[in-house]
Amino acid sequence: MSRFEGGTVICGTLRSEDLIPEFTRVLESLAPTTASRYAARWDDVYAGLEAVYFPEDLYAEATELVEYLIDALHANAPDGYCFGAHPGDGADFGFWRIDDDDF
């Protein structure tokens, strides 16, 4: 069994159309049922990701989906880790080791 190392999932972007596919890929590996529920609920957003240009009328829904994905990834983070933006770089999302000093 490999040891979880954590770290960056995606960095250098805050665009929903970039974050959603990466967050979904990781959530599918951690909590496939939750990922399936999100895919069904936000099917129009996922369909919009396939377009050449992400449809402007889906931005609000996409932003909401990003927030839900971040919450789901945090809730399903391996023991000793949290998911979110790096404290030093708000465009670096990943799993970060929880330090006992953080509590």
Q: What is the pLDDT of residues 46-95, one digit of tens each?
A: 999 988 888 899 999 999 999 999 999 999 999 999 999 998 999 999 99
Residue 10 in any domain: the answer is no
Residue 1 in any domain: the answer is no
Q: Which domain holds residue 31?
A: 15-102
The DSSP bridge partners found for residue 83 are 95
Residue 29 in any domain: the answer is yes
Residue 2 in any domain: the answer is no
DSSP strand pairing (7-11 vs 81-86):
unpaired
Number of folded domains in the chain?
1
Residue 55 in any domain: the answer is yes
Residue 58 in any domain: the answer is yes
Residue 84 in any domain: the answer is yes
pLDDT value of residue 103: 39
